[in-house]
Amino acid sequence: MGMFDYVNLRIRCPICKSFIDGFQTKDSHCIMNIVEVEEINNFYAHCSKCHSWIEFNRKKEQSARFLEFDKLERDFDIVVKEEKMRDNKKEMWQ
């Protein structure tokens, strides 16, 4: 049983521009596997050259699920109430 997994990523340090390929994450099974960036929300590394701490946290908007309306329609009864607006107020919402 390990403490983390390795991340399959190699990027340049934003500080010293040397390559970093030692990214780690605790978001997966923590069995010293190699995981892809797409599978995780947080990963981090120390630059071995300038010792800067570099950590990535996925933005919340990106992790929110986006569903097509007709997929929800299959499982839900949906109520939609169209807002009736006077013409002089319409531009506020466009």
Report the C-alpha gap between 32 and 36 in whole angstroms.
13
Determine the size of the site formed for Zn ion (CB under 5 A).
7
| Position 45 contacts Zn ion (CB under 5 A) | no
Q: Tell the residue number behind the tokens 């929110």, with chain if given.
A: 64
CB of residue 50 to Zn ion, shortest distance in Å: 3
Spatial contact of 14 and 56, defined as CB atoms under 8 Å apart: no
Residues belonging to the chain: 94
- Judged by CB under 5 A, the residue of 2, 10, 12, 16 near Zn ion is 16
- Judged by CB under 5 A, the residue of 11, 31, 50, 72 near Zn ion is 50
Q: Which is nearer to Zn ion, 29 or 49 (CB)?
A: 49
